[in-house]
Amino acid sequence: MRSLLLAGWAVTGGAMLLGLWLAWSVNSEFSYYSGIVDQSAENLRVLGWALAPALLMGGAVGAVVVTGVAANLHDGTRSADAAGAPRFRRGPAWWALAAIVAAAVVLIAWAVALSAEGNAAGSGLQFTPEGNVSDDQQAKLNTMALGQVAQMLIGPLASAAVAALVALVVIEVGRAARGEPRRAGSDAG
């Protein structure tokens, strides 16, 4: 089972990396900003704008699903000692789900800030008469591209946070439905 979980995390991680690469490739393409249209770049741009967000979303939510399955499997195979322990015992995958929620919230704030910075960078962009940019203008183009990629990340991060939170609730409701012991000092009813 462990190898299947590892494969699931590898596939979802690969989808995220491919989505990030595609998002960067599309948004850092010079012709997007200069208006000089190259058909192969245009084809990549159309593909990237459609596929990159889907890969990012599928990878983010898929990683949560695999982690949720791992947390549920761990929860169902607890030892006899753990069953009677009056502590808040949860496996590593459960804590990974909680970490996904926290990390996603922080990364959403970061992505919003990068997106705003990218939008602001475009206001001072200037091209030479040949349609090129200087090195300092190229830095603005890179900031704009990073802002576009950050915009693509906000939805997948929010979805991952919600999915991880739902997974935690489902796991805890399952524990309560099985009548697992409560912490010491709680009501027994």
Report the distance separating Cα 174 and Cα 184, nearest Å. Answer: 20
> What's the pLDDT band for 104 if we cut at 50, 70, 90?
very high
The confidence score (pLDDT) of residue 75 equals 66
Could you report the per-residue pLDDT of 124-167, keeping only the tens digit for each?
A: 777 777 667 777 788 888 888 899 999 999 999 999 999 999 99
DSSP states of 8-26 as a string? Answer: HHHHHHHHHHHHHHHHHHH
Report the distance separating Cα 123 and Cα 116, nearest Å. Answer: 12
Average pLDDT over residues 40-65: 89
Which two tokens mark 59? 């990878």
The confidence score (pLDDT) of residue 84 equals 55
Roughly what angle, to the nearest 10 degrees, separates helices 135-177 and 39-76? 30
The confidence score (pLDDT) of residue 83 equals 52
Average pLDDT over residues 11-33: 87
> What's the pLDDT band for 82 if we cut at 50, 70, 90?
low
The confidence score (pLDDT) of residue 115 equals 93
> What's the pLDDT band for 29 if we cut at 50, 70, 90?
confident
Report the Cα–Cα distance between both ends of the chain, in Å, rounded: 36
The confidence score (pLDDT) of residue 182 equals 53
Is 76 a residue whose pLDDT tops 60? Answer: no
Comparing 11 with 189, the larger pLDDT belongs to 11
Is 37 a residue whose pLDDT tops 50? Answer: yes
Report the distance separating Cα 52 and Cα 73, nearest Å. Answer: 31
Report the distance separating Cα 165 and Cα 64, nearest Å. Answer: 10
The conformation of residue 181, written as its DSSP 8-state character, comes to P
H helical segments located in 77-177: 80-84, 92-121, 135-177
The confidence score (pLDDT) of residue 12 equals 94
Domain boundaries, given as residue ranges, for the chain: 2-177
How confident is the prediction for the chain on average, in pLDDT? 83
CA angle 130, 136, 141 (to 5 degrees): 75
Report the distance separating Cα 7 and Cα 62, nearest Å. Answer: 12
The conformation of residue 87, written as its DSSP 8-state character, comes to S
The type of residue at 188 is: A
> What's the pLDDT band for 189 if we cut at 50, 70, 90?
very low
Which two tokens mark 162? 């919600």
Is 123 a residue whose pLDDT tops 90? Answer: no
